[in-house]
Amino acid sequence: MGKKTAQQIVLDLKNKLGDLEQTEKLTGQTVIDLGVPGASPELTDALEALTALGYSAREVKSITKILTDFSAQTTDQYLREGLRLLMKK
């Protein structure tokens, strides 16, 4: 595939994705219940980010209790700690 063909594909896909409404559920999109009732939005975002990075729900759930006890103020802090814990395993 040449450079021009690749550029054309990118433009075509941009136009198609731009037509989707935000409320539509994308094909293949899944919701993973991480089971953290009462968790802060920052912790929830960090857990979702870890699953988006490719960690399994089982792996993320295994560190959820530790992260719940971790005193962080931002999603970034929770995410860094979560990655540190997952890298140890």
- Residues 41-87 have pLDDT tens digits of 899 999 999 999 999 999 999 999 999 999 889 999 999 999 999 99
Which secondary-structure segment (H or E) carries 28? none
Is residue 5 over pLDDT 70?
yes
Provide the H-helix boundaries in 27-56.
Answer: 41-52
Query: What is the greatest pairwise CA distance in the chain?
Result: 52
- pLDDT value for 60: 93
Is residue 19 over pLDDT 70?
no
Q: Give 18 or 58, the one with higher predicted confidence.
A: 58
Cα separation, 34 vs 64, in Å, equals 8
Cα separation, 69 vs 67, in Å, equals 5
